[in-house]
Amino acid sequence: MCHSEVPPGISAPAVRGREESIRCEDGAFMPSFLALPAKTSVPAVLIVSDALGRAGFYEHLAGMLAQEGFVACAVDYFFRVPPLADAEPETRRARRATSLDEQQVLRDLCSALDHLSSLPEVDGRPEGAIGFCMGGTLSLDLGALWPELGASVSYYGYPVGEPGKALVPPPCPMDVTAELRAPLLGHWGDQDPMYDAETWSEFERRLDTDGVDHTIKIYPGIGHGFLRSFLDEPSAEGYATAQASWQTTLAFLHQHLD
């Protein structure tokens, strides 16, 4: 798994936060956490988690984005799936493989982006999405599905999807590059078990062919889920890579959303 709770001793960002209930297209309500900057009428960023769902790491990330001047929303897109009796992180994959309709998830995420647009704190300003692992794949797809998306950031998403990992899989990002409208930033480690240099080269070739504004960052010697290290001690393995990737992400979001 990628990210769960915040390491002990890390203080939460000093920003306002509130629970937000987002109405989806079919009338269901998706729980979410909203972090708010001091300034209003600012761009928004939708946070799309990995298979662990809306864990503490993502609420902390929302606070950090709010400190940067964005309205940040971490959604619980597993809300349609019954809770598992076994709450061990690795069993979340079983929930995903047996019962998660990821195409419905994408519709729910589009509803979340619509909802953010309507908030007075956003007031129609540009919006971006940032996703991790399976959420990174979904954030790539949002660049093709939500026409107004201003920026898409993918951490260790899968350009060719994850075969067999969802009851109803989402579109394969490799197959929808012609529909991608949002500028794209992707982060991957070359030691990620899912990383394949030929696949990523083909993905970038298609992005070039279809005229997609994109930046692909491949980090040598680092594996999956490396952003979690940016909350560790500076001496921790992967800390420098995680910090550098996060600064690149913030610059990208400011460039395309401010």
pLDDT digits (tens, 9 = 90+) for 230-250: 888 888 889 999 999 999 999
Structure tokens at 39: 């300034």
pTM of the model: 0.95
Residue 61 lies in a domain: yes
Q: Categorize the per-residue pLDDT at 84 as very low, low, confident or very high, splitting at 50, 70 and 90.
A: low
Residue 4 lies in a domain: no
Range of 20's domain? 16-257
> What is the arrangement of strands in the sheet containing 16-23, beginning at the earlier edge strand?
16-23, 29-36, 71-75, 44-48, 127-132, 151-155, 184-189, 214-219
Q: Categorize the per-residue pLDDT at 90 as very low, low, confident or very high, splitting at 50, 70 and 90.
A: low
Residue 253 lies in a domain: yes
Residue 197 lies in a domain: yes
Q: Mean pLDDT over all residues of the chain?
A: 92
Work out the end-to-end distance of the chain between its first and last CA atoms, rounded to an integer number of angstroms.
32
* Higher-pLDDT residue of 39, 139: 139
Q: What proportions of the chain, in percent to the nearest 5, are helix, strand and coil?
A: 35, 20, 45
Tell whether the model's pLDDT for residue 89 goes beyond 70. Answer: no
Please give the tally of structural domains in the chain. 1
pLDDT of residue 97: 66
Residue 44 lies in a domain: yes
**Count of residues making up the chain:** 258
pLDDT of residue 30: 98
pLDDT of residue 8: 75
Residue 7 lies in a domain: no
pLDDT of residue 93: 65
Half-sphere exposure of 152 (CA within 13 A, CB side): 31
Structure tokens at 7: 């390491």
CB atoms < 10 A from the CB of 81, how many? 17
Find, among 222, 219, 216, 220, the residue nearest to 252 by Cα: 216
DSSP conformation class of 69:
T
Residue 1 lies in a domain: no
The domain spanning residue 79 has which CATH number?
Answer: 3.40.50.1820
pLDDT digits (tens, 9 = 90+) for 165-184: 788 889 999 999 999 999 99
pLDDT digits (tens, 9 = 90+) for 217-234: 999 999 999 998 888 888
pLDDT of residue 60: 94
Tell whether the model's pLDDT for residue 85 goes beyond 70. Answer: no
Find, among 205, 202, 204, 137, the residue nearest to 171 by Cα: 137
pLDDT of residue 1: 56
Outline where DSSP puts E strands in 8-150. 16-23, 29-36, 44-48, 71-75, 127-132
Tell whether the model's pLDDT for residue 110 goes beyond 70. Answer: yes
